[in-house]
Amino acid sequence: MNSNEVEIVLYGAQTLCPSCVNLPSSKETFEWLEAAIARKFPEQPFKMTYVDIYQPTGESEKLSFAQRVIDEDMFYPVVVIKEKIVGEGNPRLKTVFAELEKYGYKAM
């Protein structure tokens, strides 16, 4: 069982990504992802952070990555774990879970 808390950062916006019209909003994706991770890795600490790309707050690296999402026209929401992009537009649980397992998370 993992005892180190990993931060999962979801960069998104209130408006839908122009290419993601039929997908859930960034906030809905954030809530869905948080619930799915908690179910897959119960009693293993993780931190979910939401960053609005148009009104970012927080550390300078989050501010600069939010700007990068805009500048590079990434499909958002963008899911980042330890500076690695693990999902863009419509994140896949399998990819997110696999990345967490690299940090010692064990499925229950």
Q: What is the rounded distance in angstroms from the CA atom of residue 100 to the CA atom of residue 102?
A: 5
Q: Are 108 and 39 in contact (CB under 8 A)?
A: no
Q: Residue 31 CB: number of other CB atoms within 10 A?
A: 15
pLDDT on residue 17: 67
This prediction's pTM? 0.92
- Asked if 101 and 38 count as a contact pair (C-beta separation under 8 A), the reply is no
Residue pLDDT, tens place only, 19-67: 667 788 899 999 999 999 999 999 999 999 999 999 998 899 999 999 9
The pLDDT value recorded for residue 1 is 56
Cα–Cα distance, 66 to 4 (Å, whole number): 25
Under a CB-based contact definition with an 8 Å cutoff, are residues 40 and 108 in contact?
yes
Q: Which domains does the chain have, with CATH numbers?
A: 6-101 (3.40.30.30)
